[in-house]
């Protein structure tokens, strides 16, 4: 997935009201960018961080910049836009680039299912059970090389696990896919200390037949692509 508009570098001044970020461009101009991330963004919203913004000239948008990346001092990147994983994964699924799901040729997004929910992707193929894929963006890292989810309590995420477990109980294939939007992590685990209820819900869902798939990403100011599987650290 390539960004629609070339990104420009900036420095973060502050993030506030969850969805707003004041930033300083290279020409010293200060602008407000949309932050498409409802989580805590722990470790990713410190004043002075180098970030990358996507400009837009859409008259329907009040803010003319969107915050897309954090560039760390070691040259690694973290993608902070939670809408990016679904866009990157759709391309990977349609191209058959996710080996564990490559047998499915039909890829539909945002399909209604369960109790007034929408599955991120419903995969289907003659001769195979339908496959329900829920996607979560992973950006938290509190230890070198270790990615964790979630970064804050997520009642919505817990509900999604229950919905997936119901699909598995009905004989469908159900996959909880974590996309690690960091280039500096090669291991993954659930942050049970942050949201014990989510960790418990995952354990129940997994016991009910829900699969876990963790993928890394390739990130640059040009775009974000789904990468190779990442091992669980648990």
Q: What is the mean pLDDT of the chain?
A: 96
Is the pLDDT at 189 greater than 80? The verdict is yes
Instruction: Supply 203's token pair.
Output: 């354990």
Helix (H) or strand (E) holding 218: strand 211-220
Q: Rg for the chain (alpha carbons), in Å?
A: 18
Q: In which band, very low, low, confident or very high, does the pLDDT at 229 lie, cut at 50, 70 and 90? A: very high
pLDDT exceeds 90 at position 219: yes
3 state SS of 162: helix
Quote the pLDDT of residue 234.
Answer: 65
List of residues 6+ apart from 196 with CB closer than 8 A: none
User: Nearest-5° angle of CA 224, CA 164, CA 196?
Assistant: 85
Amino acid 232: pLDDT: 87
Mean pLDDT to the nearest integer, 49-78: 95
Residue 26: left (phi > 0), alpha (psi -120 to 50), or beta?
alpha
Predicted confidence at residue 63, as pLDDT, reads 96
Q: For the segment 24-59, what is each residue's pLDDT rounded down to a tens digit?
A: 999 999 999 999 999 999 999 999 999 999 999 988
Note the pLDDT of residue 168.
97
Q: The whole model's pTM is what? A: 0.95
């Amino acid at each position: 997935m390539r960004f629609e508009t070339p990104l420009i570098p900036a420095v973060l001044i502050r993030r506030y009201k969850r969805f707003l970020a004041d930033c300083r461009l290279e020409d010293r101009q200060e602008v407000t960018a949309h932050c498409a991330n409802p989580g805590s963004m722990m470790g990713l919203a410190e004043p002075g961080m180098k970030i990358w913004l996507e400009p837009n000239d859409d008259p329907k948008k009040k803010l003319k910049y969107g915050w897309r990346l954090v560039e760390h001092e070691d040259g690694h990147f973290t993608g902070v836009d939670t809408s990016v994983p679904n866009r990157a994964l759709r391309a990977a699924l349609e191209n058959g680039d996710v080996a564990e799901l490559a047998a499915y040729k039909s890829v539909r997004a945002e399909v209604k299912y369960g109790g007034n929910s929408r599955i991120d992707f419903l995969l289907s193929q003659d001769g195979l059970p339908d496959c329900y894929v829920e996607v979560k963006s992973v950006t938290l890292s509190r230890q070198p090389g270790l990615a964790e989810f979630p970064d804050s309590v997520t009642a919505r995420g817990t509900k999604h696990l229950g919905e997936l477990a119901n699909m598995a109980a009905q004989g469908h294939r159900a996959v909880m896919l974590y996309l690690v939007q960091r280039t500096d992590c090669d291991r993954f685990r659930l942050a049970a200390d942050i949201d014990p209820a989510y960790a418990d819900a995952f354990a129940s869902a997994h016991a009910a037949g829900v699969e876990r798939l963790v993928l890394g990403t390739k990130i640059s100011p040009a775009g974000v692509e789904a990468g190779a599987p990442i091992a669980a650290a648990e």
